Amino acid sequence: MTMATGASADAPRSPGGWQETGSSSVNSLTGGQGLASRADGSLLYRGLGSIPLALRTKGWSHVGDPDIADGHTVDAYQGGDDAKSKMFAVTTPDGKRYLYEHRLDAGEKLNNSFASVSPDNQWLVSGEWGDQDRLQVFPAPLLNSSTPPAGGALAQAGQITLDKPVRDIQGCDFVSDTRLVCASNDASKELWPEDRPILQVDLERALDGKPVTGRVTSLFATPQRSICRGTFEAEGVDYDAGRRTLRTQVIPPIPCLVATSVYAYRPTTG
């Protein structure tokens, strides 16, 4: 359950053309890892407490930022430090769950921070931790007819090569077929001037399974507001196309980390 609070009249406009419109909070245990908007405008949250026991016992100990495509919920799972694969779980509108496992390719990190499905429901974008010059692309499990119809192996398609490096991407979501907005937990200011920036990735063309390049720009710094002092953590991001609303999550420092902040934005133009 969330509690909405209105944005102040003088809430700052971001350089990227987004106006903050409000904030809310959600239990970090069940909602601190990511969020996705449903067709009716309600929000799906994910946290470490959201992992089904059946998946946890198989070693899938972390769930990332989810996405919803055509009523299908797509979750990104990763295992422990010795994991040799990562997994995407797709839950259909009628509640059936199918598991798609990807064996790590040479040089691929085990992290599976998020799942973001392209607007045509054919391609799945995900990402690794640390410094990266790419985003990974897979056929959208279950939704793309090239994938097994009831779960199975999932191979990579042509990746997105970024023109500038990014660090610690926690989530991405499509704003259009050629634009993603991503949340970075990078506080170093070595790569970008903003602290934990919200980044925009503009693709040279819509995803088609072949390699594509993406131009990265920084939109604004993730808000860091709390009565607690210490280290914040940027988490999931979601764009609700029907309501033209961007949301991003931030976990505050100890002991306030039990509640994750959710900030909402609207575009200032268009």
Task: Return the HEC string of 19-69.
Answer: EEEEEEEEEHHHHCCEEEECCCCCEEEECHHHCCHHHHCCCCCEECECEEE
Q: Give residue 173's Cα distance to chain centre.
A: 6
Angle, CA of 117, 118 and 122, to the nearest 5°: 85
Closest alpha carbon to 180 in 247, 118, 222, 223: 118
Q: What percentage of the chain carries pLDDT values higher than 70?
A: 94
Query: Exposed (0-12), middle (13-18) or buried (19+): which is 150, by Cβ within 10 Å?
Result: exposed
Range of the domain at 78: 5-267
Give yes or no for a contact between 236 and 34, defined as CB atoms under 8 angstroms apart: yes
Q: What pLDDT does residue 8 have?
A: 37
Q: Distance between CA 89 and CA 99 in Å, rounded?
A: 5
Q: Residue 125's closest CA among 110, 111, 133, 136?
A: 136
SS3 of residue 204 by DSSP: coil
Domain count for the chain:
1
CA 265, CA 267: separation in Å to the nearest integer?
A: 7
> Residue 3: pLDDT above 70?
no
Specify the 3-state DSSP secondary structure of 79. Answer: coil
- The model's pLDDT over 108-167, given as tens digits with 9 standing for 90+, comes to 999 999 999 999 999 999 999 999 999 999 999 999 999 999 999 999 999 999 999 999
- Mean pLDDT score of the chain, rounded to an integer? 93
Q: Give the C-alpha distances (Å, rounded to integers) separating 215 from 123, 162, 218, 236.
A: 19, 6, 10, 21
Q: Which residues contact 177 (CB under 8 A, 6 or more apart)?
A: 118, 119, 120, 206, 207
Q: What is the pLDDT of residues 18-75, one digit of tens each?
A: 999 999 999 999 999 999 999 999 999 999 999 999 999 999 999 999 999 999 999 9
What CATH number does residue 255 fall under?
A: 2.120.10
| 174 close to 37: Cβ distance less than 8 angstroms | no
